[in-house]
Amino acid sequence: MLCLCFEDLKTNLPQAVQTVADFIGIPDPGHRDIATQQAGFEFMKAHGTQFDDHLVRQTRDAACGLPPGGVATKVHRGQTGAAHTQISPQIHQAFATRWQDTIEQQFGLASYADLRRALQG
């Protein structure tokens, strides 16, 4: 299993693509170039329906009696950290408690920053 962090993809996408390509055994530089281009924010924003949950949303909305036509995009601003302002303090605390009970206890990583450092070697 290969673990990567979104922030590291944003920092150096070509290197992240290289890491993934090496991991799965894709030696062709042309394929790596295409993957880098198509993993970029501009491409993903222009092709947003390829990266959303529209099929799940359509099924769920119909089952729940919700009106059709909602947006289910996962491509927002292409920035890290934006979710921190969209999640309530109670949810942040629930995440922190869950992290402590699972990741910290099992792996000794007290925070996401510790996990990133460990993955970077």
Instruction: Give, for all 121 residues of the chain, the pLDDT tens digit.
Output: 999 998 888 899 999 999 999 999 999 999 999 999 999 888 988 887 776 777 777 787 778 887 777 665 655 565 566 666 678 889 989 999 999 999 999 999 999 999 999 998 8
pTM: 0.66
Res 61: pLDDT: 77
Res 108: pLDDT: 97
Q: Which amino acid is at 41?
A: F
Tell me the C-alpha distance between 113 and 92, whole Å.
15
Helix (H) or strand (E) run with residue 99 in it: helix 89-99
